[in-house]
Each structure stands twice: as structure tokens, then as C-alpha cells.
């Protein structure tokens, strides 16, 4: 079975919220069968690395298997938060798609949804 490396966006969705200089980003898998794989591969360490250029200091991951979801709480990723940030997106609302786009997962091609643009 051939494996493929794809952005997390191929198999999961999510939403970002903010409180102060702390961001939270949910990661929710579309296919129940892939929840375990995402738990295994989408670790606190890997998420922290994606936000390191923003000054992120710590990531905490919460598992919600009933909801097929993970919740990541990322400290100090908002460049001071909406009070202080010079980023036009001071709330970090777009950061869910930074995570979904930059973090990759390895899986077999057959695990991707039919017609996924990530198959090629």
C-alpha cells in the first residue's frame, strides 16, 4: 500500500479562537477511522514548531474522542494578542489554516477521501 504525506487539511478541519496572547485551535477529523492516526502524528511538539516563529512558548493538547477532535492551546503565539499585535489579524483567526496547511500527516492513499485534491 503506497503511503503519501499530505497537509492535515486533507483530512481535518478546525477553528481558531483567542484570549489575550493565547490561541486555541481545534482540529477535527472528517473520518472517524483517522482519529487515532491524527492523535499519533499531530503532537504538541510538532504544533509548537509550526508556531515557533511567532514566539509560541508552550502547546497543550486536549483530546475529545467523542467529537473526533483535538484542542490545541498555544501560549504566546499572538504577538501580544489583539491589545498589542501589529499583525492585521491580531486575533489570530487565520491561524487554524496555518496549522492545517503546514502540519503534514503520513497515511495510505486509500485513507484519503475520494476525489481529494491532495491525491495527485
Partner 1 sequence: MGKVFIGCGAGFSGDRFDAASAVVDTLARCDGERFLIFEVLAERTLAIAQRLRLNNPDAGYSPYLDAYLEPILKKAKTHKIRIVSNLGAANPVAAAKRVHAIAREQKIDDVKVAVVLGDDLLGVYGPEEIQKLPTLEGISLGDREIIAANVYLGAQSIADALALNVDVVLVGRTTDAALTLGPLLHVHQWPTDDWDRLAQGTLAGHLLECGGQVTGAYFADPGFKEVPNLAEVGFPIAEIDATGDLVISKADHTGGLVSKATVTEQILYEMHDPGNYLTPDVTLNVTDVKLQDLAADRVRVSGARGKPPPPTLKVTVSVDGGWLGEGEITYAGPNALARAELAAAVIWRRSQILGIQEPLRVDIFGTGAVHDNDMSARRQKQKIPADGEYRVRAAIRSVHKKTAQQIADEVQSLYCSGPAAGGGVRQYVSQQVSTASVLVAPDMVIPHVRVELVSA
Q: Give the residues lining the site for partner 1 (CB under 8 A).
A: 9, 13-15, 17-22, 24, 26, 28, 30, 53-55, 60, 62, 64, 66-69, 71, 73, 79, 83-84, 86-89, 94-95, 98, 117
| For partner 1, the closer CB: 32 or 45 | 32
Backbone angles phi, psi at 5, to 5 degrees: -105, 120
| For partner 1, the closer CB: 39 or 68 | 68
| For partner 1, the closer CB: 43 or 89 | 89
| For partner 1, the closer CB: 44 or 79 | 79
DSSP string, 48-117: HHHTGGGT--EEEEEEEGGGTEEEEEEET-STT-TTT--SS-TT-TTHHHHHHHH-EEEEEGGGSPTT-T
**Min separation Cβ 21 and partner 1, Å:** 8
Q: Is 59 in contact with 48 (CB distance < 8 Å)?
A: yes
Q: How many residues does the chain have?
A: 120
**Min separation Cβ 2 and partner 1, Å:** 23
Amino acid at each position: 500500500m503506497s503511503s503519501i504525506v499530505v497537509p492535515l487539511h486533507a483530512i481535518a478541519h478546525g477553528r481558531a479562537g483567542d484570549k489575550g496572547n493565547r490561541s486555541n485551535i481545534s482540529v477535527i477529523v472528517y473520518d472517524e477511522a483517522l482519529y487515532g492516526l491524527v492523535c499519533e502524528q499531530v503532537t504538541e511538539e510538532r504544533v509548537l514548531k509550526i508556531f515557533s516563529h511567532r514566539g509560541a512558548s508552550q502547546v497543550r493538547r486536549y483530546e475529545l474522542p467523542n467529537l473526533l477532535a483535538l484542542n490545541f492551546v498555544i501560549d504566546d503565539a499572538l504577538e501580544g494578542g489583539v491589545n498589542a499585535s501589529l499583525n492585521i489579524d491580531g486575533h489570530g483567526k487565520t491561524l487554524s489554516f496555518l496549522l492545517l496547511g503546514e502540519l503534514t500527516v503520513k497515511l495510505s492513499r486509500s485513507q484519503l477521501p475520494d476525489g481529494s485534491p491532495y491525491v495527485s
